[in-house]
C-alpha cells in the first residue's frame, strides 16, 4: 500500500474550499489587533489570543525592532550551544519573579515547552494525570514521555479523586491541567485540585497559556486563587498576552535546572530569536506598568458574556474573556461562522476533535483594546445572524 494514499483520499477540506465555507488558514492582509483585513474585507477580530492587545503596543514593537538592529534576526543555534543571550536570562529571571517562582526556562514555542517539560519529568514507571479537555500539547507531552497516562473527566473532582486514590504510592506522579481552558473559557478548580494533589503525593503543573495576562491581575490561575505556593510548575506561552512567540516554564530552581538539561525540545531546537525575546520582555513590562489593561479585559469579558446570554446564546461555563457560543451542530456552526464573517466579524468555528461531537461551537475571544463601538457592532451582528440561523 502507498503511504501517500491517505493524502489523496483526504478531500473534505478541498470540498469545503470549493463550496466557499472553508473556515481555516484565512490569509490576512492586515492585522491591526482589534481589526483585521482579508482580501479587502475588514473584520472586527474576535478570534485572536492577543488578549491585552500588545502586538500593536509601541513599546513592544520598538523593542523587537531594536533587538533586530542590535543582534540580527536569529541566534542560529540552540540554547545549549551558541543560542543563549543575556536577554534570554533576563527574561527568565523576570518571568520567574512575575509568577512567584524561583526560576524559569524559556523555550522556542509554547508547544515545545509542554513537550519538553512533561517528557523530561515523566520517566519510565511514572504516571501523568490529565484532564480530558487538556490542550493537545499537554497530551502530546505525555505521549512522548516513558510514563503512563491517566485521564479524568473534565473538571470533575469526584472522578479525579477516584483516579488518584487508585494510583500506587511508590510511583512518581504529575498532574498537568490547563488553568484557563482555551475552547470554552472555563477555569480549572485549583482550590480543589491542589489539596487532592497534596493528599495523594502528586506534583501539580498548570498550563497558563491562556490565563497569563488574563487571570490573577495578569499573573495567572494560581495567583487568581491565591495558590501560587501550592502549584509546583507554571507554564505559559508568549504567543498570546505576551504578543510574541515562545514559551516558558517556572518552578523551583532544581526542577527547572533538571528540565533545562533534559528537555529534548529545547536542547535540539534553535533558541527564541532576539526580536521575540525582546517583545516578550517588553510585553511583561507593559503588563506590570499598565494593570488597567487586565481590568479592561475582565470588564469586556463580563459584559460580552452577559450580553450573549441575554440574547439567548449558550455560553457554557465560561468565566473569562474566552466566550464560546455553543451550537452543537456542525452544519449550523459553519453556516453561522460564514454569515458572521461576511458581516465583518471574525470568530473561530471549533469542531471535533477539538470539542466533543455535539458540542460544536464558535469560539469568541476579546482584547483590552476592543472599543465599546466595536463590541456593540459584534453583538448586533450576532443577534441578526443568530435569528437568521435559528439559534435565538
Together in a domain, 113 and 198: yes
Residue 73 included in any domain? yes
One domain, residues 178 and 71: yes
Low-confidence ranges of the chain (pLDDT < 50): none
Closest listed residue to residue 55, CA positions, set 266, 280, 261, 213:
280
Domain shared by 311 and 270, yes or no: no
pLDDT score for 225: 98
Residues 226 and 354 in one domain: no
Q: Which residues pair with 202 in a beta bridge?
A: none
Burial category of 74 from C-beta neighbours within 10 Å (exposed 0-12, middle 13-18, buried 19 and up):
middle
> Would you list the DSSP string of 129-183?
EEETT--HHHHHHHHHSSSEEEEE-TT-HHHHHHHHHHS-TTS-EEEEEESB-TT
CA atoms of 26 and 129, how far apart (whole Å): 35
If phi > 0 it is left, if psi is from -120 to 50 it is alpha, else beta; for residue 344 that is left
Q: Is residue 368 part of a domain?
A: yes
Q: Is 261 exposed, middle or buried (0-12, 13-18, 19+ CB in 10 A)?
A: exposed
Residue 356 pLDDT: 86
CA 270, 274, 280 angle in degrees (round to 5)? 105
Note if the pTM is more than 0.85: yes
Indicate whether 245 and 375 sit together in one domain.
no
Domain ranges, residue 187: 56-289
Residue that the C-alpha cell 470588564 belongs to? 299
DSSP one-letter code for 201: T
pLDDT of the residue at 355: 86
* DSSP per-residue codes, 88-105: HHHHHHHHHHHHT-SEEE
Instruction: Give domain status of residue 50, yes or no.
Output: no
58: left (phi over 0), alpha (psi -120 to 50) or beta: alpha
Q: In the prediction, which pLDDT does 354 show?
A: 82
Q: Is residue 51 part of a domain?
A: no
In a domain, 2, yes or no: no
Q: Tell me the per-residue pLDDT of 279-306, one tens digit each, with 9 for 90 and over.
A: 999 999 999 999 999 999 999 999 999 9
Cα distance from N-terminal residue to C-terminal residue, the chain: 50
For residue 280, with 0-12 CB atoms within 10 Å meaning exposed, 13-18 middle and 19 or more buried, which class applies? buried
pLDDT of residue 146: 95
> What is the per-residue burial (b if ≥16 Cβ within 10 Å, else e) of 137-176?
bbbebbebbebbbbbbebbeeeebbebbeebeeeebbbbb
pLDDT value of residue 352: 83
Considering the domain architecture, whether residues 367 and 279 belong to the same structural domain is answered as no
Q: What does the alpha-carbon distance between residue 44 and residue 302 come to, in Å, rounded to a whole number?
A: 19
- 33 and 68 in a single domain? The answer is no
Identify the domain boundary among 273, 289, 305: 289
Residues 31 and 61 in one domain: no
Are 218 and 232 part of one and the same domain?
yes
CATH number of the domain within which 192 lies: 3.40.640.10
- Nearest Cα residue to 243 out of 31, 25, 23, 19: 31
Residue 363 lies in a domain: yes
Phi, psi of 40 (to 5 degrees): 80, -5
Residue 357: strand pairing partners: none
Show which of 289, 324, 347 is a domain's final residue: 289
Would you say 272 and 278 are in contact if contact means Cβ atoms under 8 Å apart?
no
Return the half-sphere exposure (C-beta side, CA atoms, 13 A cut-off) of residue 349. Answer: 23
Within 8 A by CB and 6+ apart from 113, the residues are: 107, 137, 235, 237, 247, 248, 249, 265
Q: Which is it for the CA torsion 158, 159, 164, 168, positive or negative?
A: positive
Q: Of 378, 367, 82, 77, whose CA–CA distance to 240 is shortest?
A: 367
Residue that terminates a domain, selected from 289, 318, 348: 289
Q: What was the pLDDT predicted at 308?
A: 98
Q: What is the CATH number of the domain that holds 348?
A: 3.90.1150.10
Q: Are residues 256 and 372 in the same domain?
A: no
Residues 306 and 267 in one domain: no
Q: What is the domain count for the chain?
A: 2
Are both 29 and 144 inside the same structural domain?
Answer: no
* HEC readout, 232-291: CEEEEECCCCCCCCCEEEEECHHHHHHHHCCCHHHHCCECCCHHHHHHHHHHHHHHHHCC
Q: Is 184 contained in some domain?
A: yes
Q: Distance between CA 218 and CA 293 in Å, rounded?
A: 9
Tell me the Cα Rg of the chain.
21
Asked if residue 112 is part of any domain, the answer here is: yes
Cross-strand partners of 69: none
Amino acid at each position: 500500500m502507498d503511504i501517500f494514499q491517505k493524502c489523496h483520499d483526504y478531500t473534505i477540506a478541498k470540498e469545503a474550499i470549493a463550496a466557499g465555507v472553508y473556515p481555516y488558514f484565512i490569509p490576512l492582509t492586515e492585522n491591526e489587533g482589534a481589526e483585521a483585513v482579508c482580501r479587502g474585507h475588514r473584520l472586527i477580530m474576535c478570534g485572536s489570543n492577543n488578549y491585552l492587545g500588545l502586538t500593536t503596543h509601541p513599546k513592544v514593537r520598538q523593542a523587537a525592532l531594536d533587538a533586530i538592529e542590535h543582534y540580527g534576526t536569529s541566534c542560529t543555534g540552540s540554547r545549549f550551544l551558541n543560542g543563549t543571550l543575556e536577554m534570554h536570562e533576563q527574561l527568565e529571571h523576570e518571568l520567574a519573579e512575575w509568577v512567584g517562582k524561583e526560576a524559569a526556562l524559556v523555550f522556542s514555542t509554547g508547544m515545545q515547552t509542554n513537550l519538553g517539560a512533561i517528557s523530561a519529568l515523566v520517566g519510565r514507571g511514572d504516571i501523568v494525570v490529565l484532564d480530558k479537555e487538556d490542550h493537545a500539547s499537554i497530551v502530546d507531552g505525555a505521549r512522548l514521555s516513558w510514563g503512563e497516562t491517566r485521564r479524568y473527566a473534565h473538571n470533575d473532582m469526584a472522578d479525579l479523586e477516584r483516579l488518584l486514590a487508585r494510583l500506587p504510592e511508590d510511583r512518581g506522579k504529575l498532574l498537568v491541567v490547563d488553568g484557563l481552558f482555551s475552547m470554552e473559557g472555563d477555569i480549572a478548580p485549583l482550590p480543589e485540585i491542589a489539596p487532592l494533589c497534596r493528599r495523594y503525593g502528586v506534583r501539580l503543573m498548570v498550563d497558563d497559556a491562556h490565563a497569563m495576562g488574563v487571570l490573577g491581575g495578569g499573573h495567572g490561575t494560581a495567583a487568581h486563587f491565591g495558590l501560587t505556593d501550592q502549584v509546583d510548575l507554571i507554564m505559559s506561552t508568549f504567543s498570546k498576552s505576551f504578543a510574541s512567540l515562545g514559551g516558558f516554564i517556572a518552578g523551583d530552581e532544581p526542577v527547572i535546572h533538571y528540565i533545562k538539561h533534559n528537555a529534548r525540545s529545547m536542547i535540539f531546537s534553535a533558541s527564541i530569536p532576539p526580536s521575540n525575546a525582546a517583545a516578550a520582555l517588553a510585553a511583561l513590562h507593559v503588563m506590570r506598568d499598565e494593570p488597567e489593561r487586565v481590568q479592561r479585559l475582565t470588564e469586556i469579558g463580563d459584559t460580552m458574556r452577559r450580553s450573549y446570554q441575554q440574547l439567548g446564546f449558550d455560553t457554557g461555563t465560561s468565566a473569562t474573556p474566552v466566550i464560546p457560543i455553543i451550537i452543537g451542530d456542525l452544519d449550523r456552526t459553519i453556516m453561522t461562522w460564514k454569515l458572521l464573517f461576511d458581516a465583518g466579524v471574525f470568530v473561530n468555528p471549533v469542531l471535533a476533535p477539538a470539542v466533543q461531537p455535539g458540542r460544536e461551537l464558535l469560539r469568541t475571544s476579546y482584547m483590552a483594546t476592543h472599543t465599546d463601538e466595536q463590541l456593540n457592532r459584534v453583538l448586533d451582528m450576532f443577534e441578526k445572524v443568530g435569528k437568521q440561523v435559528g439559534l435565538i
